[in-house]
Structure 1
Amino acid sequence: MIKRVIYSVMLGFLSFSCVASCSKDSGLKEEVIKDIPEGDVTVFVTSSNRAYDFERMALDFSSTSNMSPTTITLNPEVRYQQIHGFGAAVTGSSSYNLLQMTREDRARFLTETFCHDKGMGFSYTRISIGASDFSLSEYTLCDTPGIENFSLQHEELEYIIPVLKEILEINPGLKIMGSPWTPPRWMKVNNLNDLQPHNSWTGGRLNPVYYEDYAAYFVKWIQAFADHGIEITSVTPQNEPLHPGNSVSLYMTWQEQREFVKYMGRAFQEAGLSTKIYVFDHNYNYDNIADQVNYPIHIYSDEEARQFVAGAAYHDYGGHHDELLNIHSQAPDMELVFTESSIGTWNDGRNLSHRLMADVENIGLSVVNKWGRAVIVWNLMLDMNRGPNRPGGCTTCFGTVDISNDYSSITRNSHYYMLGHLSSVIKPGATRIGTSGFSDAGINYTAVENIDGTYGFVIKNDTAEARSITISDGEKHFTYRIPARSVASYRWEK
């Protein structure tokens, strides 16, 4: 039986009414949530036409025979990778927009986004180490030459850290990844032959003379955030190392990153840091640079570098997610994470009927089903003018959500729904498990076993008709008719 009772709408767009934080010490007022549907299976549904807008329902297990030709059966004996989490980047621009909201509206949005039991449960975010192309200014944390001059700057202290602290009150288990767009300019040279200074935010190479200082820069950054009560889970040595044309950038080949990772790893060890290092952090196609193909494998093949490398990170601005299978086949013990994708004017990013199915397929389900342990996309929140942004950066990007010019209403875009459908039923520490049975064109899905003993299942129906799908865990089963061009997520106890 389907019990269709939904949460009331927040700010005209959000499908939850709770404002209470998950944690007991948040100081936020608790509101009673009424009419939450109850049943054996919790269901979330979103359709491309927004007829179902992350609608929460409940199903009961079926008492009829499980003989449907559209039955999908979970096989928890077949186990794949552990899932770390899902989320969006808390950039300087996102933090600025969030802090323009009223405290009550911001708390409500962050709760609905990051809370596990009252919201979607986003659990992984990415922040820049210094400026990115979505910062409020160009800067690093050591613009005066000499690593002894390292210090957090205005953007961290007034925007990013306050926002992260509010999120951590809601979800204390939030994982945070840090990525630099550029080292301090005094560490950059124009090339590795004559080592002439490159006093520019854009491009340049990291001077090998400063490998030790730059490794110390990462250590100091991690420790500085720890001093504010914020634990950094992971870092990448360089955002998009093969794209020197970004407004804030650095070119770093695998040969350079392999050597620099050794300095990073030793510095982390000496400082007693457990922060993970993920290499590469760029496109599936290696920007079509022939000698950079298999970039992370080259690094991981080095015996010394390998001891410091947890895995590799990928973006989707070029190439295909099958590259995850290629890397996994060469290094099965490498963790694979997806760390950036954007929507914008170039891909009709605010048109849910155009983007939802593609993003659920190509960023969500395919990454998870091809050994991805995390999915993180770009800006959590931009304004309706696609900013604030930096000259030379992306002026055509949308956020996972976009906030109105008066900071009072929110438009949710495809990335937000995609992440919500994954994070609402696939919790950190879950293990992807096997499935068998029904398959068809336009139907794709993934299944996990969560650490609390529940099952999570996400399925998309990218066909023109509603489809009745039966899901069985071997002991219990249920059937739900998934609307056309829709995604549905389920969670139930074993």
Structure 2
Amino acid sequence: MFNLKKLLLFGTIYSSVLIACGNDAVNVTPEQPQGPQSGDVKIFTTTASLSHDFEKTFVNFSKTSNMSPKTIKLVEGTKYQTMDGFGSAITGSTAYNLLKMTAADRTKFLTETFSPTEGMGQSYIRIAIGCSDFSLSEYTLNDKPGIANFALQEEELKYVIPVLKEILAINPSIKIMGSPWTAPLWMKVNNLSDLQAYDSWTGGHLNPKYYQDYGTYFVKWIQAMAAQGIKIYSITPQNEPLNHKNSASMVMFWQEQLAFVKTALGPKLKAAGLSTKIYAFDHNYNYDDMADQQDYPAKIYEDAVAAAFFAGAAYHNYGGDKKELLDIHAKAPNKELVFTETSIGTWNDGNNLAKRLPEDMREVALGTVNNWARGVIVWNLMLDTDKGPNREGGCQTCYGAVDISKHDYKTIRKNSHYYIIGHLSSVVKPGAVRIATEGYNAIGLAYSAFKNSDGSFAFVLLNDSGEASRITLSDGKNHFSYEAPASSVVSYTWKP
């Protein structure tokens, strides 16, 4: 084992220590150099090399006139969307791994992740309604025919709900979104022409005959979670409605989703007095290249009665480009946008932080926010170092936002998704408004500015260049400078 204190005394900083656990390699964050621990501006810095690992420091406002040509000015008068939050998914697999940790270790990790005062302050969670492709088994909450047989199952009661309760104890205001991967099998048919029973977890369609029962299914789930002390902030009617190949899946074309929400789900929620938001679509930017499914949410919005039940639309990035968010915003500027899923894995060098941190920050975090997304949620918060628990038919090559050693359920490797969410959630609080900027920009820089509801400013910067850059920020009243290291993400917050 390296003697880090001794190495630090000799002036060599090791940002991570690789510990071999069988075939697993995981990083452990060592002691970090201590910068100023108070000042006008709080700053978090992460470099792709982890020479800075979400390192917190402070700087003071400058007392001299600002002459820097690298000044970015925040323009408070130009406002964009209000932010809901940032976070990750608590799947059955994630909950299972978390509960394999000791209570003390789990509390420490959850506090570092979700506490608004002692940690990153992640503020939005996505969970499955029934199973997902990262559940411990395939199931729904109503596998026995008849809506009267609805009930929460073991995965909720033994794994997901206990973890959610621990998170809510740390951050009571956290938002929770629910998405189903499939309806109960007895509600499914092979297609909408033949309407033949479809006894399969994969694919199929919702039988219009059961629209009312399935609307009740959502209501019962929201009420059952509320009885557990868990408020559901939002739902999507179907995860990836154009994907018929997932281990648990169901096709729901825009015409079906319009009809289901208009005639059943929307009225059922309203009749039950539930204010839970409904987001349309919840799938890829490119609509899986299906010509008749292009602009899926915008087509639903053309029906005024159906549109009234939708808060907006949700997107994933497994196909297409984030500019689709701009297109849908232009078509329906009064509707919200949220980004609800992205994954890292062996196919995109998911554990290569030097590659993934800048790319994911540019495309997922800042990219979606700067294209009107109110929230950003990544996929599994925690998987183990065997990429699981996973299930045949689901993703067996995915990494989590963090990966925990299956040998000790203690040693954690933090991946890009953990950092990109943390850099947003640490300074941009729910209710913040994205605001405009003007001034300095350069190749390799990407950033976004916000005004929090408490009056503080927040600014998140990616410096994806090979050189450090001393950036000056000005809010019109105060200005300050900080050197953003090469290949880094820097988050700032201050009160004017």
Q: Please confirm whether the aligned pair reaches a TM-score higher than 0.5, indicating the same fold.
A: yes
Matched, 1:80 2:80: yes
Report the equivalent of 2:274: 273
Q: CA deviation at 1:277?
A: 0.1
Q: CA deviation at 1:369?
A: 0.7
Matched, 1:380 2:381: yes
Report the equivalent of 1:359: 360
Report the equivalent of 1:438: 440
Report the secondary structure of 2:275's partner residue.
coil
Cα distance in 2 for partners of 1:65, 1:287 equals 53
> In the alignment, residue 395 of structure 1 is paired with which amino acid?
Q
Further displaced range: 34-43 or 206-215: 34-43
Cα distance in 2 for partners of 1:321, 1:438 equals 24
Cα distance in 1 for partners of 2:143, 2:292 equals 33
- Residues 94-119 of structure 1, C-alpha deviations (whole Å, 9 max, x = no match): 00000000000000000000001110
Q: How does 1:69-468 map to 2 (within 5 A)?
A: 69-262=69-262, 263-405=264-406, 406-468=408-470
Q: CA deviation at 1:15?
A: 7.6
Unaligned runs of 5+ in 1: 1-5, 18-33
C-alpha spacing 1:14/1:268, structure 2 compared with 1 (3 Å): farther
Q: Is the 8 A contact 1:16 1:119 kept in 2?
A: no
Cα distance in 1 for partners of 2:370, 2:440 equals 16
Report the equivalent of 1:489: 491
> In the alignment, residue 461 of structure 2 is paired with which amino acid?
I
Unaligned runs of 5+ in 2: 1-12, 18-25
Q: Is the 8 A contact 2:35 2:57 kept in 1?
A: no
Q: Is the 8 A contact 1:15 1:55 kept in 2?
A: no
Report the equivalent of 2:473: 471
Q: Is the 8 A contact 1:235 1:277 kept in 2?
A: yes
Cα distance in 1 for partners of 2:111, 2:147 equals 38
Report the secondary structure of 1:111's partner residue.
helix
Cα distance in 1 for partners of 2:107, 2:31 equals 13
Q: CA deviation at 1:303?
A: 1.0
Cα distance in 1 for partners of 2:105, 2:38 equals 27
Cα distance in 2 for partners of 1:338, 1:78 equals 23
Matched, 1:13 2:13: no
Cα distance in 1 for partners of 2:54, 2:83 equals 22
Report the secondary structure of 2:192's partner residue.
coil
> In the alignment, residue 315 of structure 2 is paired with which amino acid?
Y
Report the secondary structure of 1:173's partner residue.
coil
- Residues 116-158 of structure 1, C-alpha deviations (whole Å, 9 max, x = no match): 1110000000000000000000000000000000000000000
Work out the percentage of aligned pairs sharing the same amino acid: 61
Report the equivalent of 1:25: none
C-alpha spacing 1:369/1:231, structure 2 compared with 1 (3 Å): same
C-alpha spacing 1:460/1:191, structure 2 compared with 1 (3 Å): same
Q: CA deviation at 1:13?
A: 3.1
Q: CA deviation at 1:9?
A: 9.8
> In the alignment, residue 460 of structure 1 is paired with which amino acid?
L
TM-score normalised by length of structure 1: 0.94
Cα distance in 1 for partners of 2:285, 2:101 equals 37
**CA RMSD, aligned part only?**
1.7
Q: CA deviation at 1:14?
A: 5.1
Report the secondary structure of 2:28's partner residue.
coil
- Residues 408-462 of structure 1, C-alpha deviations (whole Å, 9 max, x = no match): 1110000000001000000000000111000111111000000011100000111
Q: CA deviation at 1:486?
A: 0.5
Report the equivalent of 1:58: 58
Cα distance in 2 for partners of 1:381, 1:128 equals 15
Report the equivalent of 1:38: 38
Report the secondary structure of 1:172's partner residue.
coil
